[in-house]
C-alpha cells in the first residue's frame, strides 16, 4: 500500500509541477496558501460571517471549533505518527515556491485539514455560506500541491480529517442541549437579605470598563429600576477613580444595607470580598463581557437583579478563599466566585490582552489560543509531595458539568465542594480543548467532548494546597501566572523559587440577591 501511494504521489507531483497555469495563477495560489498559514484566512472568514447576523455567528463558531479540532488531530496526532518528507521545492519556479518552506512532517496537510474543517463545519450550520467557503477550501488544498508543499496523499488525508471534524462537531453541536440547567429550581438555599423596594440603602458601584455597555447605560438603567439606590461611577461627582477605592467608599456610606456591583466577573469578585468583609449582601448587575457569576445566580439582566432586591430574594452562595504566599513570605487573599486555574488559560489571557487593542477581544482570544497550543509551557506543581507538569489545574467552586476536559457550568452553587481537575502533560490534546473554552464559549466547548479524554481523577475537595515553581511567562517575566474569575494574577517570584497557593471552600460564604 505504501509503495502504491508513493507512486501515485510522484505521478501527481510531476503532473502538477509541469502544469502551467500562468504567472497570475501562480502568484494567486502562492498568496492564498500563505494567507492560510496559522488559520489566518479562516479567522478572517469567521469575522465576515459574524457580521452577517445570528446565523453567521453560529456558523463562524462551528467553523472555528471544527478548525481547532482538525488542527489538533492533524498537527498533534497524525504528523508525529506519520510525518514524512515533503516534495523538493527547488524543482519549481521561484514564482511558485513559498517564501518560507514548512519544516514539520508532510502527512497530513494541516492547511487542507483546517480548510475542510472550517468550510464543512460552517456550511453545515449555514448552507448559504457553502458556495463561497467550499471552493475557497478546495483552492487552498490545491495550492499546497501547486507550491510543492505537499504530496497528493497529504492533501487528501488532510481534507478527510477536516471534513470528519466538521461533520462530527456539527452533529454534536446539534445534539447538545443549549442549557443543561433546570431553570425552575433555585441554584442555592435561601439567605436572609433586606427587602429594598426602591433600592433605599443599596449602594451600587459601576465599573464602566468591564464590558461593552457604557457607564451611562448601566448607571441610568439601574437608577431607573431602583431610584433610591446610590450609584457610584469612578471619577464622577467627586467619586474615587479606581474600583477598589470606590468599593471602600461605598461600604463607608452611612445607612448602607447592601452593596451592589455592575461589572464583569473580576469586578464582581472584588466586590464580593468587600461585601463579605463588611457582612453585607451583594447585588450583582451584569456589566461585563461574559457575566458568568451573574448568569449562575440567574441575575443575568438588570431587571432580574432589581426584582431580587425589591422582593428581598437572596441565596446563600458558596465561595472560596484564595491565599497566595510568595517566597518572601508576603500573603495576599482573594475571594473566588467561579473558577481558579493555573497554566494554559492564564498564559492565554496574558497574550490576549497584548493583542486586544489591535484585533479586538474575540480575535485576540483566538490568536492567543493558537499561540498557547503551539508553544505553551506547562506549570510545575507539587501537591502532597507529588511533583508533576500540568497544562492546567482547574478548580471550580462547586461541581461543574460536563465531566472531563471541558467543564462549562454548574447546576448548584451550594454543594460545599471544590471541583479539582488536573490536566497533565501526558494528555497531548489537553491544551487545545482547554483554551477553546475562552474562544468558543460554553456550548462550543461542550462539543469538544467528542475529542475529550480523561482528566487526572480527583476527589471533590474542600481544600487544595499547591506549591508552584516560578517560571517565565509569555512576557518573559519570572513568576507564577494564575487566573480566577476571568482575571489573571501575576505573582512575581525569582525563577525556580516556590509560590504556595491554597484554596479553602467557604460554604455559604456570600449572601447574594438572586431569584
Nearest CA among 430, 429, 401 for reference residue 415: 401
pLDDT in tens, the chain (515 residues): 456 666 776 776 666 766 777 788 778 878 788 888 888 888 888 888 888 777 788 888 889 999 988 888 888 877 777 767 777 676 666 667 766 666 666 788 888 999 999 999 999 988 888 999 999 999 998 888 878 777 888 889 899 999 999 988 887 776 554 444 455 578 999 999 999 999 999 999 999 887 665 445 789 999 999 999 999 999 888 788 899 999 999 999 999 999 999 999 999 999 999 999 999 999 999 998 778 899 999 998 999 999 999 999 999 999 999 999 999 999 999 999 999 988 766 666 667 667 766 766 556 666 666 666 555 566 777 776 677 777 678 899 998 876 655 566 788 999 999 998 876 655 544 555 544 444 444 444 444 443 343 444 455 789 999 898 888 766 678 888 888 997 888 898 998 899 999 999 999 999 999 99
- Residue 460's DSSP bridge partners are 419
DSSP state of 460: E
Nearest CA among 267, 393, 243, 400 for reference residue 335: 267
Alpha helices in 214-289 (DSSP H): 215-225, 243-251, 265-277
Q: What are the boundaries of each domain within the chain?
A: 2-175, 202-312, 324-508
* Helix and strand counts by DSSP (H, E) for the chain: 15, 18
Q: CATH for 324-508, among 1.10.1220, 2.60.200, 1.10.10, 3.40.50? A: 2.60.200
For cell 497584548, the residue is 354
Q: What is the rounded distance in angstroms from the CA atom of residue 343 to the CA atom of residue 494?
A: 18
301 Cβ neighbours under 8 A, 6+ residues apart: 286
- Residue 403's DSSP bridge partners are none
Q: With contact defined as beta carbons under 8 Å apart, do 8 and 152 qualify? A: yes
Locate the DSSP E strands across 138-257.
202-206, 230-232
CATH number of 202-312: 3.40.50.10330
Q: What is the rounded distance in angstroms from the CA atom of residue 49 to the CA atom of residue 68?
A: 17
pTM passes above 0.75 = no
Angstrom CA distances, 82 to 7, 68, 105, 113, stand at 18, 20, 8, 15
Q: With contact defined as beta carbons under 8 Å apart, do 347 and 379 qualify? A: no
Amino acid at each position: 500500500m505504501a509503495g502504491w501511494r508513493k507512486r501515485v504521489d510522484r505521478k501527481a507531483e510531476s503532473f502538477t509541477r509541469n502544469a502551467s497555469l500562468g504567472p497570475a495563477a501562480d502568484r494567486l495560489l502562492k498568496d492564498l496558501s500563505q494567507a492560510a498559514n496559522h488559520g489566518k484566512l479562516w479567522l478572517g472568514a469567521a469575522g465576515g460571517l459574524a457580521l452577517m447576523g445570528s446565523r453567521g455567528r453560529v456558523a463562524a463558531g462551528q467553523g472555528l471549533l471544527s478548525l481547532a479540532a482538525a488542527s489538533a488531530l492533524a498537527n498533534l496526532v497524525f504528523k508525529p505518527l506519520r510525518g514524512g518528507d515533503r516534495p523538493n521545492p527547488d524543482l519549481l519556479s521561484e514564482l511558485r515556491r513559498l517564501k518560507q518552506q514548512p519544516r514539520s512532517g508532510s502527512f497530513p496537510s494541516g492547511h487542507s485539514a483546517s480548510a475542510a474543517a472550517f468550510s464543512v463545519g460552517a456550511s453545515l450550520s449555514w448552507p448559504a455560506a457553502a458556495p463561497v467557503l467550499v471552493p475557497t477550501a478546495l483552492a487552498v488544498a490545491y495550492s499546497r500541491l501547486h507550491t510543492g508543499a505537499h504530496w497528493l496523499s497529504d492533501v487528501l488525508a488532510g481534507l478527510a480529517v477536516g471534513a470528519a471534524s466538521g461533520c462530527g462537531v456539527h452533529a454534536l453541536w446539534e445534539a447538545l442541549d443549549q442549557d443543561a440547567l433546570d431553570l425552575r429550581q433555585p441554584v442555592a438555599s435561601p439567605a436572609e437579605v433586606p427587602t429594598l423596594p426602591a433600592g433605599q440603602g443599596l449602594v451600587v458601584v459601576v465599573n464602566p470598563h468591564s464590558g461593552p455597555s457604557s457607564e451611562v447605560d448601566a448607571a441610568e438603567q439601574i437608577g431607573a429600576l431602583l431610584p433610591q439606590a446610590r450609584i457610584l461611577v469612578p471619577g464622577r461627582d467627586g467619586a474615587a477613580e479606581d474600583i477598589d477605592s470606590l468599593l471602600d467608599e461605598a461600604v463607608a456610606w452611612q445607612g448602607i444595607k447592601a452593596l451592589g456591583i455592575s461589572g464583569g466577573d473580576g469586578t464582581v469578585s472584588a466586590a464580593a470580598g468587600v461585601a463579605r468583609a463588611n457582612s453585607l449582601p451583594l447585588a450583582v448587575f451584569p456589566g461585563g463581557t461574559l457575566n458568568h457569576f451573574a448568569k449562575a445566580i440567574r441575575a443575568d439582566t438588570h431587571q432580574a437583579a432589581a426584582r431580587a432586591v425589591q422582593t428581598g430574594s437572596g441565596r446563600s452562595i458558596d465561595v472560596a478563599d484564595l491565599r497566595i504566599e510568595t517566597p518572601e513570605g508576603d500573603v495576599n487573599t482573594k475571594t473566588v466566585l467561579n473558577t481558579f486555574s493555573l497554566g494554559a488559560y492564564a498564559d492565554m489571557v496574558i497574550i490576549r490582552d497584548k493583542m486586544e487593542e489591535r484585533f479586538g477581544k474575540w480575535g485576540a482570544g483566538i490568536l492567543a489560543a493558537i499561540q498557547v497550543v503551539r508553544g505553551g509551557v506547562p506549570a510545575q506543581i507539587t501537591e502532597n509531595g507529588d511533583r508533576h507538569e500540568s497544562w492546567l489545574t482547574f478548580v471550580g467552586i462547586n461541581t461543574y458539568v460536563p465531566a472531563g476536559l471541558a467543564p462549562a457550568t454548574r447546576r448548584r452553587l451550594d454543594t460545599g465542594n471544590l471541583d479539582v481537575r488536573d490536566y497533565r502533560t501526558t494528555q497531548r490534546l489537553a491544551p487545545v480543548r482547554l483554551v477553546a473554552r475562552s474562544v468558543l464559549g460554553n456550548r462550543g466547548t461542550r462539543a469538544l467532548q467528542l475529542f475529550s479524554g480523561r482528566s487526572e481523577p480527583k476527589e471533590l475537595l474542600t481544600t487544595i494546597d499547591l506549591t508552584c515553581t516560578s517560571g517565565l511567562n509569555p512576557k518573559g517575566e519570572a513568576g507564577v501566572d494564575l487566573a480566577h474569575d476571568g482575571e489573571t494574577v501575576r505573582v512575581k517570584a525569582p525563577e525556580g523559587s516556590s509560590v504556595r497557593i491554597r484554596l479553602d471552600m467557604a460554604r455559604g460564604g456570600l449572601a447574594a440577591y438572586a431569584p
